[in-house]
Chains A and B, each alone.
Chain A
Amino acid sequence: MTMSTLIDAVTGPSAPAPAPPALRMRPRGLTAEAVLIRRSITHSLRDTEALLMAVLLPTLLMLLFTFVFGGALDPSGGYVDYVVPGIILLCAGFGASSTALYVARDMTTGIIDRFRTMPMRASAVLTGHVVASVLRNLFATGVVIGVALLVGFRPTATPAEWLAAVALIALYILAITSLFAAIGLAASSPDAANAYGFILLFLPYLSSAFVPVDTLPDWLAWFAEHQPITPVIEAIRSLLTGTLMGDAAWWAVGWCVLFVAIAAVWGGRLFRRRARRR
């Protein structure tokens, strides 16, 4: 590396005198978002352990619940139809939890400072992680449904109902990913982010995901009935297998939108606050 080549690196090739200094332009439209979504997707694809987990976990859970617990819970063999929505949400929650880790990692390394000292929306980094998580977990959902069909899942949904179910699942993934992203912003380190997020992963167990709510003790049944996961489960179950919908869909959409809003406001505040001090 010689002096002249380095001068070229700074001013452009064959510039005898220093060229007028260039300006760093603001990326046009949603370019920053597109570039950083692509970055996060690349991260997901190169994280082989996480990718393997995204395929293995749904497969193993599906097999476990169908063949190990299924017989005891419903000897007639219909448990697989009952349990699919629960496993979808369980896997989506698990897959989304790494968002907290990715966000915390970006916030504690120098990369966020570099973006913040450029004329761009630094928050595009978060958009990138959230969108990548939604895509990643929709893929995991596809794996769940694929394995479920292989082990005897017989959905009755029309194409419109499929579409609605997938849209609701995507909305749920967006909601839980946003929460995890905010947790990643609140955490002081990537390890802490991992630990805080753990609590969210337990919620599906205390819902109608695996057993009907009325089989639970009264106090737990009340919680399971009114916690946000249950209406989401019930709505997906109704769309896919034709069980009673009731007002589950409204509650499901309402909860998810509320969580996205909370995460956006909370995360926005955290992001601005952390802007001032690492």
Chain B
Amino acid sequence: MTIAIEAHGIAKRFRRVEVLRDLDLAVAAGSVFGLLGPNGAGKTTTIDIFTTLVRPDAGTAVVAGADVRRDPDGVRARISLTGQSAAVDQVLTGRENLVMLARLSGLGRRAGRARADELLERFDLADAAARPVSGYSGGMRRRLDLALSLVVPTRVIFLDEPTTGLDTRSRGELWRVVREVADAGATVFLTTQYLEEADRLADRIAVLDRGRIAAEGTASELKARVGGEVVQLLGPDDEVLAERSTDGTVHGLRAAVDEFDRTAASTADGARVAIRRPSLDDVFLAITSGPAEPARRADLIGSKG
């Protein structure tokens, strides 16, 4: 297995705030790697360090074979970044954006124009190519943003919360594109707050919490860590009245149901029991200090052992 990104003991603080501490990470070449974490966990700082925007205070990071500190231009030659705010020029047209980036990536005039047309066609932007980007929809802007990252087919592509603010359809479109980019051989490193996104896209997932990797593995490995089936008590309109994680055994399920039995809610009209597989949500809540209600978190963690 070739390693596309390897980080050891990365630390970064801004003034008094310790954003990353002792972060270790390895990403296999050709895979999609999802970095998951609540707001403020240090996801963007991690990307900033890997893409040479920010220098780490301590630790080493090697991206596509080049050290981010000693050879930043070597890293830059081999990566593309699609940041959180769309890095497109609003005044220029879609084609002008692509040609500009091609020229800035060392392509000649003719080659740049050819590459731009190719990408416009393939990202379904040919009809809008001559229109200023300011008139594009959010989804089109994101597609152009990603096309700009692919002007040169670099080895590693960084996506910082690529689908934030997109509607469901545009999100689905973008997921497909990212998957296809990875299938073509590039390594994709993405951060996200959406668990579904990580579940659908990422081969491996790392959960970042308070500047450290709190857990790492495939989605099913992570889910297995939380335990077995989750027992839910549902109200008449399918609303969740109570929820217990179990170890998946008959005894465990019965204990959870017994526990519901002792609550007043279980006797309400139309109340019933349902069982579901643990989701990445459960993993996230169990592992991070994220924006979960404390009571529910305590439930999850308390019933784990």
Contacts and interface: CB of A to CB of B under 8 A. Distances in A.
Given A22-B154, A39-B100, A7 B184 contact: yes
Given A110-B86, A117-B52, A46 B91 contact: yes
19 contacts: A6-B122, A7-B184, A8-B118, A9-B119, A9-B122, A9-B123, A21-B155, A24-B77, A24-B154, A35-B104, A110-B87, A113-B83, A114-B148, A116-B52, A116-B53, A117-B53, A117-B76, A276-B54, A276-B55
B111 to A, nearest CB: 11
Interface residues of B, number: 52
B12 to A, nearest CB: 10
A11 interface: yes
Interface stretch (B164-172, B175-183, B242-250): B175-183
Contacts of B205: none
Interface of B: 14, 51-55, 73, 76-81, 83-89, 91-92, 96, 100-101, 103-107, 118-119, 121-124, 132, 147-148, 150, 152-155, 176-177, 180-181, 183-186
B87 A109 contact: yes
A253 interface: no
Nearest to A276: B54
B87 A118 contact: no
A226 interface: no
B53 A31 contact: no
Contacts of B73: 26, 119
B179 to A, nearest CB: 9
A126 B133 CA distance: 21
A120 interface: yes
A49 to B, nearest CB: 13
A13 B122 CA distance: 11
A273 interface: no
Given A43-B91, A111-B89, 11 more contacts: A5-B122, A10-B186, A21-B78, A24-B154, A25-B107, A26-B106, A35-B103, A109-B85, A110-B86, A114-B87, A119-B77
A7 B88 CA distance: 23
Contacts of A12: 153
Q: Which of A18, A24, A275 has the most C-beta atoms of chain B within 10 angstroms of its own C-beta? A: A24
A114 B73 CA distance: 13
Contacts of B55: 276
B100 A25 contact: no
A6 B77 contact: no
* Interface size bracket, A side: 35 or more
Contact of A24 (B78, B92, B123): B78
A3 B184 CA distance: 10
Contacts of B183: 3, 7
B51 A23 contact: no
Interface string A77-119: 0000000000000000000000000000000011101111111
A117 B51 contact: yes
B123 A1 contact: yes
Nearest to A26: B106
B249 to A, nearest CB: 43
Nearest to B87: A110
A113 B83 CA distance: 8
A5 B180 CA distance: 10
A271 to B, nearest CB: 13
A23 B89 contact: no
Contacts of B86: 109-110
A146 interface: no
Given A1-B122, A9-B150, A113-B83, A118 B76 contact: yes
Contacts of A43: 91
